[in-house]
Amino acid sequence: MIVMKFGGTSVGTVEALQQVARIVAQSRHLQPVVVVSAMSGVTDTLRAIAADASQGNRADVQCRIEDLRARHTSTVSALLSTQEREGMVETVTYLIDELENVCHGITLLQELSPRTIDLVSSFGERLSAPLVSAVLREQGVPSTPYDARLSIKTDDRYTEAEVDFAETNSRLVEGLRPAVDAGTIPVITGFIGSTQHDVTTTLGRGASDYTAAIVGSALKADEIWIWTDVDGAMTADPRIVSEARVLAKISYQEAAEMSYFGAKVLHPKTMLPAVKDRIPIRIKNTFNPSTTGTLISEETVSSPLGVKTVTNIDHVCLVTIEGSGLIGMPDTPARVFKTTAQHQVNLIMFTQASSEHDICLVILDKESDTVVKALLSEFRHELERGSLEAITVQPDIAVVAVVGEGMKGTPGIAARTFGALGAHRINIIAIAQGSSELNISFVVDRKELKETVRLVHSAFELDKSVTSDK
C-alpha cells in the first residue's frame, strides 16, 4: 500500500486534476490511499476572508466567498458528467454556505480566535477531497472521500495542533482499512484534524505532507509519495543556480536539515512518523511524472566532497543583543529564549561567540518588530544601567546552509565554503554549526545571496558530482 499526497498546485486546475486522476489510475495496483491539499491559493484566501470578516468588511468577504464558490463549481462542471456533477455541486453549495455562515458570525462578533481561523481554514481541504474523489470515480476508479477530522485527533493548540498518535492510529486503521481492502481509494483531507471534543484544528501551514506521513505510518504503508510541482529535492534552488540537479537519494536526516532550511520540499514534521516506521518518502512531480524524483530513506549516497546541497532562506533579519555586561551573566540566554518563546517566534538560527559579548538571533522579517519590542522590555533595566549596550536589527540579510551526511567528521568543509566566499570578497556576518555536523549555516548580506549560493554550489562541484544512484 502506498500513500500519495497531492499538493495545492496538483489539484489547482482542471488540467492538473485530470493528471492526478491519470496518475492514481495508473497506480491502482499499488493500492494507493490519497491525501490532498486545498486547491492552490485557497487556504490563503480563506485566511484573508476570516481576517476581513473580523474587520467587518462584509461586502469584500461576500465577494471573495463567491469567487471560491465559482472556482470550485466551474472545476466541477469542467470535470464531471451529470450524475457526479450533481452530487458534487451539492457538496460545494453545502460547504460554501456553511463557510458563509461562519464568516457572517465573525463579521457580527468582529473577533477572530485561532480556533475560528482553523475552522475557516479547514474548508479548502473539505472541498478538494470530495472533488478529487469524484474525479477519480468519473474515470472509473472506485473512490470515497474521507474527512480526516474523524480520525486525526489533536490537542487544542489551534493552528499548530499536536497529534495524539495512539488515538489517531487506531481510528485511521478502523476508518480506512475496510475501503482499502475493498479496492476503494480513499481521498483524505490533508492539514486538518479535530480535538477530543470534535472541534476542528489544523496541523500547521503546509501540513498536508504531515497528514500523508501520519496516514502512512498508521496504515504501515510501503512508501509515501509526495506529488508536487518540482522534480524533487535539488542541489540548490534552481531559480538561483541554473545547473542545480535533482538529488536521487537523500537520508531522512538530510531531508530534515533541508526542510528546516526553507527548501520548501517537505513540511518539517513529515519526517517524524516516516522515520519511526522506516517508511521511505518519494518526492514526485505531478507535471513530470516519468522522472524518478527524490527518494528519502535511511540510505544515502554521499557526495565526493561531503556537501550534497546548498539551501537558503530569505526574508529574515538578524537581531543582536550586545554589551560587555553580558559576560558572565548566566541567565541572559535563558531570558532571550524565554522572550522569543513567549511570542511564539520561530528562531531560524542563533549564535553566541565564546567572548559572550553578543547573542545573535536570525528570525523572519515579519517578526522583527515584535521581538525587538519584547527584548527591549525584558532587558530595560540592563539597558538603563548600561550593562547592555544595544539591541539592534540588521535587515536585508539571508541565511545559506550547506548540508550533507558526508560532512560529518570530514575536515575542510568549512574551509572550502568560506574559502570560496573569501576569494570573492563575500563577507560572512554570522555562522552556526551544530555538533551533528550535517549543516553549516551562515548569514550573508541579502544582496550577495545569489552569488553566495552559486559560489558554494560550484565549490562543492554539485553541478557534476555523482550524488545519484550508482
**Which residues fall within 8 angstroms of residue 17, CB to CB, at 6 or more apart?**
11, 75, 79, 131, 132, 135
Report the side by side order of strands in the sheet with 281-285.
Answer: 143-146, 185-189, 32-36, 2-6, 223-228, 281-285, 294-297, 249-251
Whole-number Cα distances in Å, 166 to 160, 267, 283, 362:
18, 22, 27, 36
In the complex, minimum distance from the CB of residue 209 to Mg ion, in angstroms, rounded to a whole number:
6
> Rule CB under 6 A: is residue 404 a binding residue for ligand ASP?
no
Q: Which stretch binds ligand ASP (CB under 6 A): 72-80, 93-101, 158-166, 206-214?
A: 206-214
Question: What is the full DSSP assignment across 86-148?
Answer: HHHHHHHHHHHHHHHHHHHHHHHHT---HHHHHHHHTHHHHHHHHHHHHHHHHTT--EEEE-G
In the complex, minimum distance from the CB of residue 190 to ligand ASP, in angstroms, rounded to a whole number:
5
Residue nearer to ligand ASP on the CB measure, 6 or 442 = 6
In the complex, minimum distance from the CB of residue 12 to Mg ion, in angstroms, rounded to a whole number:
12
In the complex, minimum distance from the CB of residue 20 to ligand ASP, in angstroms, rounded to a whole number:
14
By CB under 6 A, the count of residues binding ligand ASP is 12
In the complex, minimum distance from the CB of residue 205 to ligand ASP, in angstroms, rounded to a whole number:
4
> How many angstroms separate the CA atoms of 320 and 16, rounded?
46
In the complex, minimum distance from the CB of residue 206 to Mg ion, in angstroms, rounded to a whole number:
4
CB 109 within 8 A of CB 93: no
> Rule CB under 6 A: is residue 208 a binding residue for ligand ASP?
yes
Interactions with ligand ASP, residue window 100-159 (CB under 6 A): 124
Q: What is the DSSP letter of 230?
A: S
Interactions with ligand ASP, residue window 179-198 (CB under 6 A): 190-191
In the complex, minimum distance from the CB of residue 205 to Mg ion, in angstroms, rounded to a whole number:
9
Binding mask 13-42 for ligand ASP (x = CB under 6 A): ------------------------xx----
- Name the residues that contact Mg ion, by CB under 5 A: 7, 206
β 249-251/223-228 pair status: unpaired
Residue nearer to ligand ASP on the CB measure, 43 or 253 = 43
> Rule CB under 6 A: is residue 205 a binding residue for ligand ASP?
yes
Residue nearer to ligand ASP on the CB measure, 190 or 306 = 190
User: C-alpha cell of 436?
Assistant: 551533528
Give the count of beta carbons closer than 10 Å to the beta carbon of residue 57.
Answer: 15
> Rule CB under 6 A: is residue 264 a binding residue for ligand ASP?
no
Judged by the rule CB under 6 A, the positions of this chain that interact with ligand ASP are 7-8, 37-38, 43, 124, 190-191, 205-208
